[in-house]
Amino acid sequence: MLAMARGLSRTASKLLHLLFKLCWLMPVHVSDDERILRAIYSPYHVKNNKLKHQAFDPTPGTDEVSVMRFEYMGVGLCRRKAKSLGNPKKAYYGFAVLRTGVVRTSAMDVVDSRRHFCGHADIKLLMLKPEPNEPPPPEAGKRLKDLKDALLHASNYVPDPNPGKAWRGNKLEPPL
């Protein structure tokens, strides 16, 4: 029975990978019930196995936080992409899992951004973009921290217990 379940899992994974290569089949709209994954790296995003609000820092000069569309990429492709973005100063540690609808109820949006890679999306914080090399005004800094804290509370951190091998971690589900 277990062998049959593993075989079905491998078949589903191969089918997902094939569909992933056909990016045009993926809807551009990110639906409210989709799970999105934020790759987590140490030491920047996690301390003592707890997620820090820095895990949701936007890309410099933008109001965007990069995520992956789990429903279309699957755990294998998400892991490979996350590990490929690591470097000697930051080690891949797992994922923060969120539900798109919860992000949207916190006055943010999630948009497809496949121009980076198929399955990529951005959480849009819907803030004015800061000027390069200028600190944000105090009220913008507080709003940014509040938004990152909202994302932190809406996410479930799932560490990857064995980053070198296949996924052996817990199920990738957002908090209830």
What pLDDT was estimated at residue 14? 63
Higher pLDDT, 25 or 91: 91
**Based on C-alpha coordinates, what's the Rg of the chain?**
17
**Do 35 and 98 contact (CB within 8 A), yes or no?**
yes
- Spans of all domains in the chain: 27-159
| Across 150-174, average pLDDT | 88
What pLDDT was estimated at residue 86? 75
Q: Of 145, 159, 142, whose CA–CA distance to 49 is shortest?
A: 159
> What are the pLDDT digits (tens) for 31-40?
999 999 999 9
pLDDT at residue 17 greater than cutoff 70: no
pLDDT at residue 25 greater than cutoff 90: no
The pTM of the full predicted model, rounded to 2 decimals, is 0.82
Quickly state the pLDDT bin for 3 (edges 50, 70, 90). Answer: low
Element (H, E) at 4: helix 2-21
User: Any idea which of 14-18, 142-146, 165-169 has the lowest mean pLDDT?
Assistant: 14-18
**Do 126 and 107 contact (CB within 8 A), yes or no?**
yes
